[in-house]
Amino acid sequence: MVTRKKVAVIGGGVSGLAAAKAFKERGHDVHAFERTHDIGGVWEPSRSYPGVQTQSPKDLYRYTDLAMPADYPEWPKGPQVHAYLRSYADRHGLNEIFSLDTAVRSMTRRPDGAPGWTLELEGPDSARTEDFDFVAVCTGQFSDKNIISHPGQEEFEAGGGTVTHSSEYTDPEMIRGKRVVVLGGSKSATDIAVNASQNGAKSVTLVYRENVWRVPYFIGGINFKRLLYMRAQESQFNGWGRGPLARALAAATKPLVWANFRGLETLLKLQLGLKKWDMVPDNPIEKDVSCSLPIVTPGLFEAFNAGTVVPIRGTIERYEEGQVILSTGDRLEADVVVLAVGWKLGVPYLDPAYREKLIEPDGQYRVYRLSVNPDLPDMGFVGFNSSFCSVLSAEMIANWLVRYADGQLARQPSRAEMEADIEANLAWRRGERPAAQVYGGLCSAPFHFRHLDELLADIGATKRKRANPLAEQFSYPDAAAYGSFLASAPQYRAG
């Protein structure tokens, strides 16, 4: 059996829970740290805005061994997801290994030169350092707010205006009777704009920079999971590592692929009325699909039509007292400005010398299988891979990572193999698929199946697909089935 390691898990969201379970199950001595007062990450209620719900349908947003409750809606609300994550932690005895209100302030190599890392931990009452043999980094992509400001903000605030980050919009009371400007075009921006318009804001303006493709929960009346989440759809995108045969096949089927995506675009344009709102994106949809593809907030286009949310394409140029001045020249009377401008991706606590090895100057991450870097021994990421089925992919990566850490992958990569794969993947992101560069390149969408296939193959799972090849091509990933695929992996080797 492998040596028992002392393992640190940083972060108590979806990914931290998956990592804690995977390492605990293999008999390691796991210590998990969450800087807030509760587990749940982005789903912890005090961190999410009112009305938040998943983008993924519930049977795609789940761990392999625990379905979401049958009485949950197809797209569960934030508190429901939080309750689900709590039940997962209870089920697997994870609460005992989590230290809450405990932040990791720094992560450096051990002073004694031994493998592993020293973490500087700040708890509710004291700070301390502790050594670990392995660290699973599960701090996600939504932990450090992207704070931006524009000239005149102080004057605006001195005059009674409020400027706030989207994550601080947790109570509609703050916008009741107010004139609200939301900056941003992502899902959080549109969610907040619609929520404010339905909760007593005097007016809501959505200021966004770029037109992007958005997918509604139902496309032409069909749940989007039945149209978009399938191998048959995924294989039409230009994935990594295509050899001459795959390229020849892509060339031969190009007209069909073209027609498929133009058909989808036409449906979206008609259903959402994109032309009427001058919201047709410039890029073809197949070029844009990545983890940043937003789901249409229910009620968004209805709010445009009713005039309760007014969209303006542009950005904020500056503030004056009581006003927001846009790049379009528009002057908006405003009381509250919500900056839905996202998050800073990073590992701020990691020793800068190692951060340099991990992150390229253009922000791209050097990671093998979206998890490990050969220059950063004894650590791996779980859940930095943003996708449309993040819970399943976090669990799969966690299972891959524990085997990697224990030297028990069926295909344990050498340093040279990892380096070559990282370089090839970077070249693909930069040259062939720029959309894959979002989130530092840590996005597996739209290649969910491909990514999971690679992990399962590395693990040595004998079962990787459904028995029925047609169902396999045209069905969304079945989380429970992935549990049985994992179970088909070989036992640990003696050693």
Q: What angle do CA 39, 482, 487 make, to 5 degrees?
A: 100
**Is residue 371 a contact point for ligand FAD (CB under 6 A)?**
no
* Of residues 101, 95, 91, the one with CA closest to residue 67: 91
Can residue 36 be called a binding residue for ligand FAD (CB under 6 A)? yes
52 touching ligand FAD, by CB under 6 A? yes
Residue 38 or residue 454: which is nearer to ligand FAD going by CB?
A: 38
35 makes contact with ligand FAD (CB under 6 A): yes
Q: By CB under 6 A, name the one of 61, 169, 237, 482 that touches ligand FAD.
A: 61
Instruction: Of 39, 37, 34, 36, give the one whose Cα is nearest residue 10.
Output: 34
The residue behind tokens 């399943």 is: 392
Q: Which of 5, 7, 9, 13 binds ligand FAD (CB under 6 A)?
A: 13
Q: Is 33 in the site for ligand FAD (CB under 6 A)?
A: yes
User: Binding to ligand FAD by residue 205, rule CB under 6 A?
Assistant: no
Please name which of 320, 357, 324 lies closest in space to residue 339, comparing C-alpha atoms.
Answer: 324
Exactly one of 224, 388, 400, 482 binds ligand FAD (CB under 6 A); which one?
Answer: 388
Q: Which stretch binds ligand FAD (CB under 6 A): 11-19, 124-132, 145-153, 228-236?
A: 11-19
Amino acid sitting at position 130? E
- Three-class DSSP category at 315: coil
Q: Closest distance between ligand FAD and the C-beta of residue 262, in Å?
A: 27
The number of residues that bind ligand FAD (CB under 6 A) is 34
Instruction: Report how far residue 234's alpha carbon sits from residue 232's, in angstroms, rounded to the nearest whole number.
Output: 6
Contact status, residue 206 vs residue 419, Cβ threshold 8 Å: no
- Is 190 an interacting residue with respect to ligand FAD (CB under 6 A)? no
Given the complex with ligand FAD, which of 120 and 330 has the nearer CB atom? 120
Cα gap 394→18, rounded to integer Å? 6
Closer to ligand FAD by Cβ: residue 56 or 195: 56
- Whole-angstrom distance, CA of residue 30 vs CA of residue 404: 16
456 binds ligand FAD per the rule CB under 6 A = no
C-beta closer to ligand FAD: residue 207 or 445:
445
Q: Is residue 34 within the footprint of ligand FAD (CB under 6 A)?
A: yes
CA nearest neighbour of 292 among 217, 387, 392: 387
Candidate list 9, 341, 389, 479; residue touching ligand FAD; CB under 6 A: 389
SS3 59: coil
For ligand FAD, the binding residues in 68-107 under the rule CB under 6 A are 103-104
Q: Footprint of ligand FAD on residues 121-180 (CB under 6 A)?
A: 138-140, 142-143
Strand-pair partners of 137: 10, 381
Dihedral, CA of residue 425, residue 431, residue 437 and residue 443, to nearest 10: -40
Q: How far apart are CA 404 and CA 157, in angstroms?
A: 51
E strand spans, 341-384: 379-381
Q: Evaluate whether 324 touches 317 at the Cβ level (below 8 Å).
A: no
Question: Among 12, 116, 311, 441, which residue interacts with ligand FAD (rule: CB under 6 A)?
Answer: 12
Segment near ligand FAD (CB under 6 A); pick from 55-63, 156-164, 317-325, 459-467: 55-63
Interface residue list for ligand FAD (CB under 6 A): 10-16, 33-36, 41-42, 48, 52, 54-56, 61, 103-104, 138-140, 142-143, 188, 349, 383, 386-390
